[in-house]
Amino acid sequence: MSAVSTVDRPVGGATAAGGPVRRLASWLHRHGWVRLTALLSAPMAWLVVAYLGSLAVLLISSLWTVNSFTGQLVREPTLDNFRTIFAEPVYRNVAVRSVAVAVAVTIIDALIALPMAFFMAKVASPRVRAWLVIAILTPLWASYLVKAYSWRVMLANGGPVDWLLGGAGNGPGYGLTATILVLAYLWLPYMILPIYAGLDRLPNSLMEASADLGGRGGRTFSSIVLPMIVPSVIAGSIFTFSLSLGDYITVQIVGGKTQLIGNLVYANIGAANNLPFAAALATIPVFIMIGYLVAVRRSGALDEL
């Protein structure tokens, strides 16, 4: 085999210089597992150590406690932290509120993204489409904090939003509504882009066929377009939902007194100095997301990510 390929090569320096390299390549070709190991060892190490490892540490430390007198870690596995979370209504409320915010953000983003992505993929000229993609991607380059604080300014008492709505106090001010509004703004691109990609792949002939068979716009959208892009919408919702569920900075900036899971985690790491309890709280969104992913797995959405 190697003899044949040597003959195939142009005669000259390449053969002399490439001899050992070519022999190695040929040896690797015959030993596929060595190539695979070389290719995957670094990313696998990263995935196992940094990613799954930290998740394991999180789960293990959520079973520890802190001695309330000394503040020392007690490394004895117990479910006390979870018992507290389920027993105390305040934690339950925060968890429910966090999920509700994530759901609201996801729905708002989906409602805005669908017509927007449809326009980009099916109506706009290639030129307009390119500009729209840029317009959607540019905010992702700006700092998260800058965007959140600029919304703080906009939502301030007597600020631009109040002014647009007719005077001081007419806007939502800081609070839950402002949190949902700002999170919906922040994560909108993550919803538009998968839906745009899904619509882009949807052949125009399917919509033409529906119109040809007598379907008006609304019918074509509900019977043909929507069922075909459900996986893309779910793919987008995985982003908007999980990003909203874990957020705590936006809430601090525009949320007023509103608390979400992220804020409780933050407070327990900092002020309360109860790392195990923070870890236990942090597992809540992890399990909610695992539940969500399992639920949407069958829709084919995970192939869209």
CB of 130 to another protein, least distance (A): 17
219 touching another protein, by CB under 8 A:
yes
Spatial separation of the C-alpha atoms in residues 175 and 83, rounded to whole Å: 29
28 touching another protein, by CB under 8 A:
no
The β-bridge relationship of strands 73-74 and 65-66 is: antiparallel
197 touching another protein, by CB under 8 A:
no
206 touching another protein, by CB under 8 A:
yes
Q: How many amino acids of this chain bind another protein (CB under 8 A)?
A: 17
Beta strand extents in the chain (DSSP E only): 65-66, 73-74
211 touching another protein, by CB under 8 A:
yes
Residue from 209, 272, 290, 295 touching another protein (CB under 8 A): that is 209
159 touching another protein, by CB under 8 A:
no
Which residues lie below 8 Å from residue 132, measured CB to CB, with a gap of 6+?
A: 116, 119, 120, 124
Residue of 247, 93, 254 lying closest to 177 (CA atoms): 254
Spatial separation of the C-alpha atoms in residues 60 and 81, rounded to whole Å: 12
CB of 226 to another protein, least distance (A): 10
Residue from 32, 205, 271, 294 touching another protein (CB under 8 A): that is 205
Asked if residue 187 lies in contact with residue 105, where contact means CB atoms within 8 angstroms, the answer is yes
227 touching another protein, by CB under 8 A:
yes
Residue 48 DSSP symbol: I
Asked if residue 144 lies in contact with residue 189, where contact means CB atoms within 8 angstroms, the answer is no
Residue from 223, 273, 291, 305 touching another protein (CB under 8 A): that is 223
For another protein, the closer of residues 232 and 274 by Cβ is 232
CB of 222 to another protein, least distance (A): 11
Residue 79 DSSP symbol: S
For the chain, first and last CA: distance in Å?
41
263 touching another protein, by CB under 8 A:
no
216 touching another protein, by CB under 8 A:
yes
127 touching another protein, by CB under 8 A:
no
139-146 contacts, C-beta under 8 A, 24 or more apart: 139/189, 140/189, 144/186, 144/249, 145/249
Residue from 212, 287, 294, 303 touching another protein (CB under 8 A): that is 212
228 touching another protein, by CB under 8 A:
yes
CB of 195 to another protein, least distance (A): 17
210 touching another protein, by CB under 8 A:
yes
For another protein, the closer of residues 216 and 257 by Cβ is 216
φ and ψ at residue 191, rounded to 5 degrees: -90, -40
Q: Which residues bind another protein (CB under 8 A)?
A: 203, 205-206, 208-216, 219, 223-224, 227-228
